[in-house]
Amino acid sequence: MAFDIEETLARIPERSLKADAIKATGLENTGDFISMGVADMSFKPPCVVLDVLTNEIKQGFFGYYGGKNNYKAALKNWMKQMHSWEPKSEWIHTAHGLVAAIGTALRAYTSKGDGIILFSPVYHSFKKIIQANERNPVECPMNLTEGKYYLDLGRLEGMLTGKEKMIIFCSPHNPGGRIWSLEIQRELAYFCKKHNLLLIIDEIHNDLVFPKNKHVTFPLAAEGLFDNFILMTSTTKTFNIAGGLMGNVIIPNTKLGIQFSKANMATGESPNRFGMIMGERAMEEGQPWLKNLMEYIDENRNIFDHKINSIPLVRSIRLEATYLAWVDFSKLEEDESSIMKKLVSDAKIIANPGSSFGLGGDKFVRFNLATSKELVQEASERIRSIFEN
């Protein structure tokens, strides 16, 4: 199914986080701003998703959701086709987005004041949801070696105080787009087993993998070794339907599953009908769109990296997955606020400052590449012209 993905570009609507981020600059004349911050794409979802929602609107039924078994069947099939691992139906719980699901898991399995381990720099909402639940984020910085991130489990072992109960692991990693190998994930499984830590694996970016790369879903790596884990996935990043606010929480361990169910019920969880309908259809028929999407973003990645890496002392980390470029400005003799000010005021680009991702993120900047080739070209040229001297 070939199609021109640029034809599917959606305008940034007023009621969106992207529009809020542009307004938050406080600047006027924002018409030529390039929005590369918020992690959703500028593309419309696949036609099959637009069609299913259009049909729902035509029918005019906006009541409660039902039909979870169909959704679960679609998810099981998707996981089998895409990730060579099929969960059982009874392992699948639904949630109002993965950040909300992490909050539920924190309340289900840990107590106030417990230490929750993060490999930083990492997606900023992890720390926020840990703190909002009055748990204590414990950041173990990753090592960046020759442009690749590595977990430092030796360092983490030395940091343990006995109060740590859980690790939240991002796979593929945001930011930096690192795909974790089976071996690395097995080492992590051993580590958790040795130290009796519960592992939450956030695989929201699991499908956004570049051609020639392969994501390994954690249950495959942990098979026969470790089951003290909770796997979280979603269709929302893959198909750009984050406004549908839903997510999957997959728990093979029966005892952990019962605990999660109870905590989930305590939130009054009841799936968002439109999100679930979009997600189900996307998993059934969205695969060709996804393939085209990743080929398109691969070209954006090449355009961006080529231009950014031509700036002396500035390096774009080579992404293996995700559309979220991660650029190292740390060799420049400028602090992060000055770098961000130049990006917003001079380059007119909205992006995310690296320090918001925790330890090790300072003087990095995250740029969303899921937009048109022309805009990626224009943005990288603006960045080059500002920072090349």
For ligand PLP, what does the binding mask look like between residues 108 and 137, x meaning CB under 6 A?
---------------x--------------
- Binding flag, residue 204, ligand PLP (CB under 6 A): yes
Q: Which segments of the chain does DSSP mark as H helices, in order?
A: 17-23, 47-59, 68-83, 98-109, 124-132, 153-159, 182-194, 218-222, 254-266, 273-285, 287-308, 336-341, 373-387
- Binding flag, residue 240, ligand PLP (CB under 6 A): no
Q: Are 180 and 264 in contact (CB under 8 A)?
A: no
| Of the residues 233, 236, 316, 371, which one makes contact with ligand PLP according to CB under 6 A | 236
**Toward ligand PLP, which CB reaches closer, 240 or 307?**
240
Shortest distance (Å) from residue 64 CB to ligand PLP: 21
- Cis, bond preceding 172 (omega within 30 deg of 0): yes
- Binding flag, residue 247, ligand PLP (CB under 6 A): yes
Shortest distance (Å) from residue 239 CB to ligand PLP: 12
**Toward ligand PLP, which CB reaches closer, 204 or 282?**
204
| Of the residues 110, 206, 217, 234, which one makes contact with ligand PLP according to CB under 6 A | 234
Site for ligand PLP in 37-76 (CB under 6 A): 39
Q: Which residues of 108-137 are buried (b: 16+ CB within 10 A; e: fewer)?
A: bbbeeebbbbbbbbbbbebbebbeebebbb
| Of the residues 37, 46, 87, 97, which one makes contact with ligand PLP according to CB under 6 A | 97
Q: 276, 294, 245: which is closest to 74 by C-alpha? A: 276
- Binding flag, residue 98, ligand PLP (CB under 6 A): yes
User: 68 to each of 58, 71, 90, 158, how far by Cα in Å?
Assistant: 22, 5, 11, 44
**Toward ligand PLP, which CB reaches closer, 39 or 321?**
39
| Of the residues 22, 116, 242, 319, which one makes contact with ligand PLP according to CB under 6 A | 242
Q: Rounded to the nearest 5 degrees, what angle is found at the Cα of 174, between the Cα atoms of 173 and 180?
A: 5
**Toward ligand PLP, which CB reaches closer, 202 or 311?**
202
**Toward ligand PLP, which CB reaches closer, 176 or 247?**
247
Shortest distance (Å) from residue 35 CB to ligand PLP: 15
Q: Are 125 and 98 in contact (CB under 8 A)?
A: no
Single-letter amino acid, residue 300? N
Counting residues that bind ligand PLP (by CB under 6 A) gives 13
- Binding flag, residue 368, ligand PLP (CB under 6 A): no
Q: Are 369 and 323 in contact (CB under 8 A)?
A: yes
Shortest distance (Å) from residue 302 CB to ligand PLP: 22
> Can you state the percent helix, strand and coil of the chain, rounding each to 5?
45, 15, 40
| Of the residues 114, 139, 164, 202, which one makes contact with ligand PLP according to CB under 6 A | 202
| DSSP H or E stretch at residue 349 | strand 349-350
Q: Are 36 and 367 in contact (CB under 8 A)?
A: yes
**Toward ligand PLP, which CB reaches closer, 217 or 236?**
236
Residues near ligand PLP (CB under 6 A) are 39, 97-99, 123, 170, 174, 202, 204, 234, 236, 242, 247
